[in-house]
A and B are shown apart, each in its own frame.
Chain A
């Protein structure tokens, strides 16, 4: 049995960029925020200042429902840094609002992962400053 779990505190934690501040503040408050172009509703792969679709410069932060589907995943047994507990399952999640994000799956066995698996967000502390969004099968 190798139940997928959130990582313990002490892993290499993200250092928020200036444009990522709002995202990480949202995570600390257990809210999943994403940016959407106020002109054309484009959603990117991360925070942006110019819309990659219509090139408007007025992105706004929205709160996601935190539900989506599994798009792709891997199960890691040899971590890049020894502080990670294996196995873990980095994954690309397709949120129901229509954007992709990087995360990891928790709360199931690796064998339960499949294309389109329905998921919900769950937040876990990685350090004093960083709370990471993970996804659990619903």
Chain B
């Protein structure tokens, strides 16, 4: 008998995940070689032979297909993490592929250390002359939130301190053992782009990672398959091309750019048949501390303006109501370029619902939310994962 489910992702599962070693620099690697190391690790985790892969998703998919000898195979040059995973899932559910690899890596990219990482400073004509980079772009969104709701640097620093302390406890994090951190430590670090201090910002590092998806049938042969309960993406335009304006709102009946991700979250929760109260752990993408406060509001965990107090009142740490970014995120775990660093949120959410996290495991986590992107970049993606087939 065929199992009946109306859920669009009932017939696909995540069966393998892997992070390579993450470090400030990996001198023996380039982006492709470290992505391939991630790919082999994820396939080993899944117990699936490389030649069984018949689809590769990710910015570097064609090169990975070449180097693993997978041709002819399906390729989807989808950027970032959550969109890549959703595309991979669609390749399975539509029958185009049976095993899909999503792999990404970054190494030997940030070589001029007098400048910020290249992926943080796109040279678009309306922004480059004003010295904009990701920290400044997100700061412009944070400032509007401060002006509107009274959100404080202390509240943002609390989010950063929690996430950095999560990384401090994670032996796989680039900044393992470098804390713990208090909000005062964050506020005492040097100013980068007001209101963001150094410790409010993502670090930069190198590393690779990958994730393997397959059919529900084959997933039955794998240990601890994880299921996609819901997922969706929001965008208002290209990142870092125009002014990041909180109140930019092309659709009068929807959300402004400052709440990017709000629509995606509502779609994802509706698909899952869940609400924010069902989420056990939130692996939020953390390019800057403010973005945690903003996403908590946009996704519906808090009302507008209540994200700062929610964080300050101790609700996002280990053991709290909603543990957030439990591996240390881009601030402490790793930040190896736009593709890998976003896929790593999905990997951590997968590990949480598998119960396999070596640090900060949320006991009995049944619903994990993860996100990518953020307000300063005008896009935001949301994915919900769980251990039970939908």
Q: How far is the CA of A45 from the CA of B128 in the complex (A)?
A: 15
Q: Verify if A107 is at the interface (C-beta below 8 Å from B).
A: no
User: Provided the pairs A71-B245, A80-B120, A115-B147 are in contact, do residues A7 and B131 lie with their beta carbons within 8 angstroms?
Assistant: yes
Expressed in whole angstroms, the minimum distance between the Cβ of A81 and any Cβ of chain B is 5
A104 / chain B contacts, CB cutoff of 8 Å: 130-131
The contact of B121 among A81, A90, A101, by CB within 8 Å, is A81
User: Provided the pairs A45-B243, A81-B121, A100-B245 are in contact, do residues A76 and B131 lie with their beta carbons within 8 angstroms?
Assistant: yes
Q: Verify if A26 is at the interface (C-beta below 8 Å from B).
A: no
Q: Is the CB of A100 within 8 A of B243?
A: yes
A74 / chain B contacts, CB cutoff of 8 Å: 135-136, 139-140, 143, 193-196
Contact code string B114-135 (vs A, CB < 8 Å = 1, else 0): 1110001101111111111101
Expressed in whole angstroms, the minimum distance between the Cβ of B204 and any Cβ of chain A is 12
Q: Is the CB of B193 within 8 A of A16?
A: no
A24 / chain B contacts, CB cutoff of 8 Å: 125
Q: How far is the CA of A100 from the CA of B248 in the complex (A)?
A: 9
Q: Is the CB of B130 within 8 A of A102?
A: yes
Q: Verify if B246 is at the interface (C-beta below 8 Å from A).
A: yes
Q: How far is the CA of A24 from the CA of B129 in the complex (A)?
A: 12
The contact of B127 among A11, A75, A79, A102, by CB within 8 Å, is A102
User: Provided the pairs A78-B190, A84-B131, A90-B131 are in contact, do residues A71 and B126 lie with their beta carbons within 8 angstroms?
Assistant: no
B136 / chain A contacts, CB cutoff of 8 Å: 74, 76, 90
Considering only residues 206-250 of chain B, those with a C-beta below 8 Å from chain A are 237, 241-246, 248, 250
Q: Is the CB of B126 within 8 A of A14?
A: yes
Q: Is the CB of A46 within 8 A of B132?
A: no
Q: Is the CB of B114 within 8 A of A16?
A: no
Q: Verify if A126 is at the interface (C-beta below 8 Å from B).
A: yes
Q: Which residue of B lies closest to A47 (CB)?
A: B126
Q: Is the CB of A15 within 8 A of B140?
A: no
Q: How far is the CA of A75 from the CA of B132 in the complex (A)?
A: 11
Q: Verify if B192 is at the interface (C-beta below 8 Å from A).
A: yes
Q: Is the CB of B242 within 8 A of A102?
A: yes
A98 / chain B contacts, CB cutoff of 8 Å: none
Q: How far is the CA of A40 from the CA of B192 in the complex (A)?
A: 41
Q: Which residue of A lies closest to B190 (CB)?
A: A77
Contact code string A2-38 (vs B, CB < 8 Å = 1, else 0): 0000010001111111001000100000000000000
User: Provided the pairs A45-B243, A45-B248 are in contact, do residues A80 and B133 lie with their beta carbons within 8 angstroms?
Assistant: yes
A101 / chain B contacts, CB cutoff of 8 Å: 126, 243
Q: Which residue, B132, B143, B144, B198, has most C-beta atoms of chain A within 10 A?
A: B143
B135 / chain A contacts, CB cutoff of 8 Å: 74, 76, 78
A102 / chain B contacts, CB cutoff of 8 Å: 126-127, 130, 132, 242-243
The contact of A90 among B124, B140, B190, B192, by CB within 8 Å, is B140
B191 / chain A contacts, CB cutoff of 8 Å: 75, 77-78
Q: Is the CB of B192 within 8 A of A78?
A: yes
A17 / chain B contacts, CB cutoff of 8 Å: 125
Q: How far is the CA of A84 from the CA of B248 in the complex (A)?
A: 28
Q: Which residue of B lies closest to A74 (CB)?
A: B139
The contact of A80 among B115, B141, B194, B237, by CB within 8 Å, is B115
Q: Is the CB of A45 within 8 A of B121?
A: no
Q: Which residue, A14, A72, A79, has most C-beta atoms of chain B within 10 A?
A: A72
Q: How far is the CA of A11 from the CA of B121 in the complex (A)?
A: 13
Q: Is the CB of B129 within 8 A of A13?
A: yes
Expressed in whole angstroms, the minimum distance between the Cβ of A51 and any Cβ of chain B is 11
Q: Is the CB of B144 within 8 A of A72?
A: yes
Expressed in whole angstroms, the minimum distance between the Cβ of B243 and any Cβ of chain A is 4
Q: Verify if A121 is at the interface (C-beta below 8 Å from B).
A: no
Q: Which residue of B lies closest to A14 (CB)?
A: B125
Q: Is the CB of B246 within 8 A of A12?
A: no
Q: Is the CB of A132 within 8 A of B194?
A: no
Q: Is the CB of B132 within 8 A of A80?
A: yes
Known: A45-B243, A77-B193. 6 other contacts (CB 8 A): A14-B126, A15-B125, A74-B195, A76-B135, A76-B136, A91-B140
List residues of chain B with CB under 8 Å of any chain A CB.
Answer: 114-116, 120-121, 123-133, 135-136, 139-141, 143-144, 147, 190-196, 198, 237, 241-246, 248, 250
Listed by A's residue number, 27 A-B pairs whose Cβ atoms lie within 8 Å are A12-B128, A12-B129, A13-B128, A45-B243, A71-B245, A72-B147, A72-B245, A74-B196, A76-B193, A77-B192, A77-B193, A77-B194, A78-B116, A79-B133, A80-B132, A80-B133, A81-B114, A81-B115, A81-B121, A81-B131, A82-B114, A84-B131, A90-B140, A92-B140, A100-B243, A104-B131, A132-B130
Across the A-B interface, give the 6 residue pairs with the lowest CB-CB distance, nearest first.
A74-B139, A80-B133, A45-B242, A14-B125, A80-B121, A102-B243
